[in-house]
Structure formats: C-alpha cells, structure tokens
Chain A
Amino acid sequence: MKIGDLVVYLFAAALVAVGLMGMYAMGTQGGDKSVVVELDGKEVYSCRIYKGMAPVEFRVDAGNGKYNVVSVTYEEVKIKEANCPDQVCVKSGPIRHAGQAIVCLPHRVVVKITAGHEETPDVDDIAS
C-alpha cells in the first residue's frame, strides 16, 4: 500500500462521517415526523407520524400502470410492493428516521421522512 492509497481511505472515512452526520442532523430537528411522497419532484402525499396512529397503506400511481404500495406505521415506513423492473425500492427495506428516504428511480418516486409538519393549518391559523 502506498501513501496515496491511505489518503483515499481517509477520504472515504471522512465521507462516511459526513454522511452519517448529515443524516443525524436532519434526524434531530424537532420531535414530530411526517412522511412525504414525491412523484417527479412534486409532492403528491404527506401524512404525520405520531404515536398510536393507525397503520396506513396507500398506492402511489406513477402513471402508465406503474405503482408503488407504501406502508406507514409509527415504527417504520416502507415500500411494500411495486411493479418497477429493478425492485430496488422494495429491497431497500424500511426507513425509520427523519432525513431518510426510499427512492424508486424507474418510477421517479421518492418516499421520505421529514422532521416536523408544516402544512394542513389548524383553525386558529386563519387569523394570521
């Protein structure tokens, strides 16, 4: 092993650390989490995740008969079923923390967990 290889490995270790820190930083903003589903970069569905919620399961229609079935529970979010050719989104398994995402490249679908919950204003918000 030459000295440059060591630099490459150190660089790799630094990247892993930066990635983990980024994930951690995104995961610790506020306590509330919500699931956001994006199709083609546009938000098509979102719902809050809270303790004691009933498990939700819904189908994302990506057009031309393409679909992904997303299952949301308090513990985890996952793509249960999809008819994409590579099945990467199904095999990538459940996500649990804010900042994580499941991506289905062929259907251009992103399922991500975000921290906090902005939309659906309550009645008292109208005054402003």
Chain B
Amino acid sequence: MNKVRKMVMLALIISQALVLHLIEGFMPVVAPGIKLGLANIMTLVTLVLFGFKEALVVVIVRSVLGSLLAGSVTAMLYSLAGGILSCLVMGWLYFRWRAYFSMMGISTAGAIFHNIGQLLVASWVFGTIGILFTYLPVLTVAAVGTGFFVGLASRYIIKYLEEQKWFKWERG
C-alpha cells in the first residue's frame, strides 16, 4: 500500500472511531465509567491490519478530537490515559502472544487496562487511591462483558476486510 492510500485508509478509520466515540457519549450511563468501548473496535482493526504505530496514532487522534468535539480537558486526559494504556497492552498481546489469544481475549484485556488507566488518572487528579478500589470491581466485570463483544465485532470486520479484493490489492 502506498503512503497516500495508507493515510486515506487511516483517516477513514479515525473518522469511524470518532463517530463511535461520539455515539457512545449519547448512551445512557448505567453506572459511573461503564462504557461499551465501541471505538476500541477501530483500534483493534488498525492494530491487526496496519500495525502498532498506526493503532497508537488512531487512539491518540481519536481521543484528542473526540474530547474537543464533546467533552472537556479532563475528559481528554482520561481518554488518552485509558486509550494509550489499552493500546500498549493489546499491541503487546497481539504481536507477542498472538497464538495464545483470540480477538475477544485481546479486546477484553484492552478494556480492563483502559479502565485501569482511567482510574489511575482519576486517583491522581483527586489524590485518593480509594477511587481505584471502589470502582475497579464493577468496571472490570463490565469490561469482561463489553470486551467480548467488541472483540467479536472487530474479528468480523477484520475477516470481511481481508476477504475484499480491493483491500488485498491495496495491501499488495
């Protein structure tokens, strides 16, 4: 894939991640901090189809733009911390231990570390480690559920894209 085509593909992916990020903002809140993590689908797809560096770019650009469009500076901090940590963990698992993990496992680990990253920033901002303990159990249970379906969705998207003739041709 040449440079320009790759940039266009990444731009498309980022805009899709951004839309998912914003749609998620409209969802009713079940409990504090619990989100579906739909934007993580695009991170995983980029990770598998393009690579680690590209996935990190998608996460950072999505977090910054998403927080600018709907959110605040603190929201950006949480989003970035969670996103980067989860991207690092997913990249490590995928490129190092791929044989032992399914997409769902990698996505669940990503979701869990997304929460850990956000909680670490929250306890830093508020200066109490108590927040970490209070929210960790409920958020982790939620992450197992949402992570599974996010993994499933990204598996189907990756499978679909890899079967497409134009995409195969793009990748060369």
Contacts and interface: CB of A to CB of B under 8 A. Distances in A.
A88 B93 contact: no
B128 A92 contact: no
A1 B103 CA distance: 10
Contact of A23 (B104, B108, B127, B134): B134
A44 to B, nearest CB: 13
Contacts, number: 106
B102 A101 contact: no
Interface stretch (A10-18, A54-62, A66-74, A117-125): A10-18
B144 interface: yes
Contacts of A108: 74, 125-126
Contact of B102 (A1, A18, A19, A87): A1
Contacts of B102: 1-2, 4-5
B28 to A, nearest CB: 9
Can you list the 10 inter-chain pairs with the closest CB atoms, starting with the nearest? A5-B105, A22-B133, A19-B136, A4-B100, A4-B101, A19-B137, A16-B137, A88-B32, A15-B140, A92-B32
Given A91-B32, A110-B131, 20 more contacts: A2-B105, A4-B97, A4-B105, A8-B101, A9-B108, A15-B112, A15-B137, A19-B136, A22-B133, A38-B126, A86-B29, A88-B32, A91-B29, A99-B133, A100-B134, A101-B134, A105-B74, A105-B78, A108-B125, A112-B128
Interface of B: 29, 31-33, 72, 74-75, 78, 93, 97, 100-102, 104-105, 108-109, 112, 122, 125-128, 130-137, 140-141, 143-144
